[in-house]
Every structure is written in structure tokens, then in C-alpha cells.
């Protein structure tokens, strides 16, 4: 029996991997044919989504469960750990179950957050492959994105250097691109703050056009968003062709189709559209597809992965990024709108320690011992922090689907603290369960699994927060007030100008709204914990992801390229040169 209190997560994963099912066994247990699985080694495979969905098109869907959380704190809430634990718990009570989680980004993997495979006895394995590139989806996104930038910058250079007649001889029509108004920059899958703003094209005439540019992290790329929402390869191809990469000197959009690069970008992405098949420590199937960062991206496991899971199992558990204010809100109003799928319940993860921090607990400093407020009983702090949890319960209930609160148990939690949370949840109309999956795996998640099954027996009264025809400005205000708790919304002059332009352009009507906001607070200010009141949401920019199908309002000072901390995780990652095994991942 593995004791998670005495081992690091990567050590637990390494021990558990000795008993992994091969991908062929895992696929056979799901009822897949040999030709529907594309093996990548012995334990990982891609699934031929089209073949599977065509074959199972008449099979009823299973129950659809989403996992979200309270606003994150440095103490952690364990959302992916809970997702894996719930999948294992449902398996433990005899349910045929699949999970869907997002592939980790190299940014957090080598920075401070880690690889997001779960933890303790509730993990997705094999950990090394999961954390270090998997089957190359993120690399494909990086390359497809940057190919669009190569096409854009090359075209700018040629249009600057040659007259119309010369361009025509080369088969090119002048697009009259404005180099001062690009829509996107370059992408890299690391947290590289030094690349946020750069100058390119330094040198001579043949070295490119000199202009300002920059990088965003790969998971925030519109290509990642397209992977998350595309229904099939044809849909992906069309969406990639609509992606706006720049504007001409009249302010009109220039797309990848205008640059004639959309076909090549899709070719790079053709294999990435197939979800990856992995497993929990206890051998349940997990589909890994699309990426994280719901604060700066859509942050959802893909629609294709969920459609597969719903056909292959009686219960399908899918994960959304960060707290319900951004992860669940995007699942609710974007992902479900695009997929047409109706969820049966949502699980909101919290911990006693995180609620204490939302209640005004002492600041947590990485590397220093926790204050006694977090390790000893303090129901007063828990009660104060409940406001954050209750706001998220309210958000989920606005969607019309049942809410199940998971108290992700930690060994220092006391009965009085647990009971304080339970009473508040029940009073708010939510089911609540204590889960010990980190310590005990599926056995420790039985109470949670039973609560979820019970919630799934209810008939959801699902409804979106806003209609397709609601004006953008009203949508932003509605999300700010109803989900975040803001008093109102303000706009910088540049954001107001973009809002007016987008609102006046009929081609953008009906597009979804994908908010960019800090995940650390209900507000735009990461230092404001709990349930802030008396504040206004400041919108500083508005982006258009025409291919993905949504407009992206950017709130506060959040960046599309995170930074690397002073004590990043890569300092502890290494390879055993005798065995070739990677160690130190977490």
C-alpha cells in the first residue's frame, strides 16, 4: 500500500506505473476496436474520434459532470486531483466512467504550479509523458500559430520591398497590412516575460520588416481555443481560416485565409484533433485534450473529448480551469453553447485551508512554514472565507444545474471546521461531500461519487446567462455583476474604441464572450480575497478570436504571457542517467 504522506507525487506515480494497463487493454475495456486506437508507445494512445463517434452516434450519452473550484490560493484546492479522485470513486462504486482533463503547459510545469496531473493517490499516469509534451499537441499548436506569424511578417516585408506589379508576378495581391496594428504575436510554451514585448526585423532589407511584436504562451493562442471548441476536422479547418492575424491600413481584418496559410496550419494540427488516452492510478480511462489557463484562455478540455467520453461511459467527468467565476462560466456560456451538451451537475472543490485564506488568514510565503491559523482549528476564519464558496455555488445554481461541493480533505482539518462548511453548503441549496481521494484514492472518494450520482438523477433546468443576440457591452456587464459581483464596468479609451467597432460590425454579432481576468480573486485584483464588494471591473483591451468564435475582453493588468518565478520547478527536475527516468516533476 502506497502511503502518500511519505512520498512525493512523482514517486507515487513511478510506483503506480508498474501496474499500468497497456493502452490496448484500456481501449478494449472501453469497447474500442483496434483500428480506433493510435498507440504512442505501450501506455498512451490517440483516439480516432471520427470513427468512434460515427460508430456510436445512436448510443445515448452518459451523465455529464463538470469540476470547478473556489478561487485558487497558494494553499491549493486540488481540482485536477479531485477530478481524478472522482473518476476513481465512481469506478469504485461500479460505474463505467471516463474523465477528461487538459494537457499541462510547459509554462507552469517548469515554473511554480507543476504539471497538473493530480496528486497523492489520485493522479493521471504516466506522469513524465503527461508532463513533457505527451503526443505533441502543444508543439503542433505552437508551430501552427508561428507559421501564421511567418506568413504575416514575410508578407509585410514583401509588400514593403516590392511594387504591385512585382507582387503580381509572384502571384501576390497587396493586402496593405498595417505593421503598427498586428492582431497577434508569436507563441512559445514557457513562461517567458522577457518576450512579452520585442522588436523584430532588425538588420537589412532582407532581414524582415522592423516592427514591434511579442510572444504569448501557447495555451493562450487562438489555435488552442479552436482545438477546444472544434467539432471535427472540417470545422477546425474553417475556424483556422477565419483567424485574424492583423489589420490593413483601413482597419479591416487580415485572416490566415488571406495569407493562404490556413491549409498548412490545419495540416500541422491534423493529428492533434484526436484526443489522447491515458489512465488514472486505478486504471480508469482519462482523455487528455486541449489546454489550461482559464484566466487567459478558454481553459476547457475539448468538446471532442467530452463527446467521446459521453458515448464511451455511463458517467463522464470533465475539468474546467480555476474557479467557477472563470472556468465554470466559460464552460457554461461558451463550451456548452458550442457543443449543445447539457451538464448534469457541477462539482465545486474547496479546502478548509483555502477558505481560511479567503477569510483573511495570514499571507502564505512559499518555502516558509504555514501559520498556525492553517494547521490548527479556526472555525471563525472558515466562516469568513465561506463567502467565496457561496458566491461560486450561486454562480453554478444560476445555470440551472445541481451543485455538489467537494471538501477536499486535509489531515489537519477538524470535524468542527468540516461541519461549518457542510451547514453553509446545505443552506445554500448545494449537496456537499468530504473526499479523501488524495490519501485513499477511489475508496476515499466514494462519498463524493455517491453525492454526484444522486445529483445526476435530478433533471437540470439548464439555461445560459446571456442570449446570442445580447450586445457585447451588456454581456460584459452581466458577467461582471452576476458572476464576479462587480458594481459596474469601466473601459480604457482604447478598449472603448474597440468595443464600439466590434458592436457596429454585424460580422461579430452572436460571437461568444471569453473574459480574461485574474483567477486569484472574484475581482480583477488578485489581492482581494473572499467576496469583494464595492468595486468596478476595468476593461483595458478587447481581442477578437474570430476563428474560435468569441470576443475576448481583457480585465485589469493580466498578461497573455506569464512570468517565471525566482524558484521555478525546473531547478528540481532531472534525469536518472542509469535508468533514463525523469524525477522531480510534481
- β-sheet bridge partners, residue 319: 67
102 in catalytic set: yes
| Cα 247 from chain centroid (whole Å) | 28
Please return the burial class of 416, using the count of CB atoms within 10 Å of its CB with bins 0-12, 13-18 and 19+.
exposed
Q: Three-state DSSP class for 395? A: helix
Q: How far apart are CA 200 and CA 220, in angstroms?
A: 21
Per the annotation, the verdict on 294 as an active-site residue is: yes
Could you say which of 63, 92, 113, 440 is catalytic? 113
Q: Is 237 a catalytic residue?
A: no
Reply yes or no on whether 397 is catalytic: no
- The catalytic position among 190, 410, 550, 586 is 410
Edge to edge, the sheet with strand 536-545 lists: 488-491, 536-545, 550-555, 512-513
Residue of 13, 27, 46, 79 marked active site: 79
Catalytic residue among 186, 322, 328, 331: 322
Q: At what angle do helices 262-269 and 233-242 cross, to 10 degrees?
A: 140
Cell numbers found for residue 127: 506522469
Residue 161's contacts (CB-CB under 8 Å, 6 or more residues apart) are 205
Which residues lie below 8 Å from residue 236, measured CB to CB, with a gap of 6+?
226, 227, 230, 266, 269, 273
Tell me 274's DSSP state.
S
462 included as an active-site residue: no
Q: Give catalytic status of residue 328 as yes or no.
A: no
Q: Which of 73, 80, 81, 395 is catalytic?
A: 81
CA–CA gap between residue 374 and residue 412 (Å, rounded): 8
Give how far Cα 324 sits from Cα of 299, 392, 472, 569, Å. 12, 6, 21, 27
Tell me which of 151, 272, 294, 305 is the catalytic residue: 294
Judged on CB neighbours under 10 Å (0-12, 13-18, 19+), 482 is middle
- The span from the CA of 464 to the CA of 549, in Å, is 17
The catalytic position among 46, 63, 95, 102 is 102
The residues carrying an active-site annotation are 79, 81, 102, 113, 294, 322, 410, 438
Amino acid at each position: 500500500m502506497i502511503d502518500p504522506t511519505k512520498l512525493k507525487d512523482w514517486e507515487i506515480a513511478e510506483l503506480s506505473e508498474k501496474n499500468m494497463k497497456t493502452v490496448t487493454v484500456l481501449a478494449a475495456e472501453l469497447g474500442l476496436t483496434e483500428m480506433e486506437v493510435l498507440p504512442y508507445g505501450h501506455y498512451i494512445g490517440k483516439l480516432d474520434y471520427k470513427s468512434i463517434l460515427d460508430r456510436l452516434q445512436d448510443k445515448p450519452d452518459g451523465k455529464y459532470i463538470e469540476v470547478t473550484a473556489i478561487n485558487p490560493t497558494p494553499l491549493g484546492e486540488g481540482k485536477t486531483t479531485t477530478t481524478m479522485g472522482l473518476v476513481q470513486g465512481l469506478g469504485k462504486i461500479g460505474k463505467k466512467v471516463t474523465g477528461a482533463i487538459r494537457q499541462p503547459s510547459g509554462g507552469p510545469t517548469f515554473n511554480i504550479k507543476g504539471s497538473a496531473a493530480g496528486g497523492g493517490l489520485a493522479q493521471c499516469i504516466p506522469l513524465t509523458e503527461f508532463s513533457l509534451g505527451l503526443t505533441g499537441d502543444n508543439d503542433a499548436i505552437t508551430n501552427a500559430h508561428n507559421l501564421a506569424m511567418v506568413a504575416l511578417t514575410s508578407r509585410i516585408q514583401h509588400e514593403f520591398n516590392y511594387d504591385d506589379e512585382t507582387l503580381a508576378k509572384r502571384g501576390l495581391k497587396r493586402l496593405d497590412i498595417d505593421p503598427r496594428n498586428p492582431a497577434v504575436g508569436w507563441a512559445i510554451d514557457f513562461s517567458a516575460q522577457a518576450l512579452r514585448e520585442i522588436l523584430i526585423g532588425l538588420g537589412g532589407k532582407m532581414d524582415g520588416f522592423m516592427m514591434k511584436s511579442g510572444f504569448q504562451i501557447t495555451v493562450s493562442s487562438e489555435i488552442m481555443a479552436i482545438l477546444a471548441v472544434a467539432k471535427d476536422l472540417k470545422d477546425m479547418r474553417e475556424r483556422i481560416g477565419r483567424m485574424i492575424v492583423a489589420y490593413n491600413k483601413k482597419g479591416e481584418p487580415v485572416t490566415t485565409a488571406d495569407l493562404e496559410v490556413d491549409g498548412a496550419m490545419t495540416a500541422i494540427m491534423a493529428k492533434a484533433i484526436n484526443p489522447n488516452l491515458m489512465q488514472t492510478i486505478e486504471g480508469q480511462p482519462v482523455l487528455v485534450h486541449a489546454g489550461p489557463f482559464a484566466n487567459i484562455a478558454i481553459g476547457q478540455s475539448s468538446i471532442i473529448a467530452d463527446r467521446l467520453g459521453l458515448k464511451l461511459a455511463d458517467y463522464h467527468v470533465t475539468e474546467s480551469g480555476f474557479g467557477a467565476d472563470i472556468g465554470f462560466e466559460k464552460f457554461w456560456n461558451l463550451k456548452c453553447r458550442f457543443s449543445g451538451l447539457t451538464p448534469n451537475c457541477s462539482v465545486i472543490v474547496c479546502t478548509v485551508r483555502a477558505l481560511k485564506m479567503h477569510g483573511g488568514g495570514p499571507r502564505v510565503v512559499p518555502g516558509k512554514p504555514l501559520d498556525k491559523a492553517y494547521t490548527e482549528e479556526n472555525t471563525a476564519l472558515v466562516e469568513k472565507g465561506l463567502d467565496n464558496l457561496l458566491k461560486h455555488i450561486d454562480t453554478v445554481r444560476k445555470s440551472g444545474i445541481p451543485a455538489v461541493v467537494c471538501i477536499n480533505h486535509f489531515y489537519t482539518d477538524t470535524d468542527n471546521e468540516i461541519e461549518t462548511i457542510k451547514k453553509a453548503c446545505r443552506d445554500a441549496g448545494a449537496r456537499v461531500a468530504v473526499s479523501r481521494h488524495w490519501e485513499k484514492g477511489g475508496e476515499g472518494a466514494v462519498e463524493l461519487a455517491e453525492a454526484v450520482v444522486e445529483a445526476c438523477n435530478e433533471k437540470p433546468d439548464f439555461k445560459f446567462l446571456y442570449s446570442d443576440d445580447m450586445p457585447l457591452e451588456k454581456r460584459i456587464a452581466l458577467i461582471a455583476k452576476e458572476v464576479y459581483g462587480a458594481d459596474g464596468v469601466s473601459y480604457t479609451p482604447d478598449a472603448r474604441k474597440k468595443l464600439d467597432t466590434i458592436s457596429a460590425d454585424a460580422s461579430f454579432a452572436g460571437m461568444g464572450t471569453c473574459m480574461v481576468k485574474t483567477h486569484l480573486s472574484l475581482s480583477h485584483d488578485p489581492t482581494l480575497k473572499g467576496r469583494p464588494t464595492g468595486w468596478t471591473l476595468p476593461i483595458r483591451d478587447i481581442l477578437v478570436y474570430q476563428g474560435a468564435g468569441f470576443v475576448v475582453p481583457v480585465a485589469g493588468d493580466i498578461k497573455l504571457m506569464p512570468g517565471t518565478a525566482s524558484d521555478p520547478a525546473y531547478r528540481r527536475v532531472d534525469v536518472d542517467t542509469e535508468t533514463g527516468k525523469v524525477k522531480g516533476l510534481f
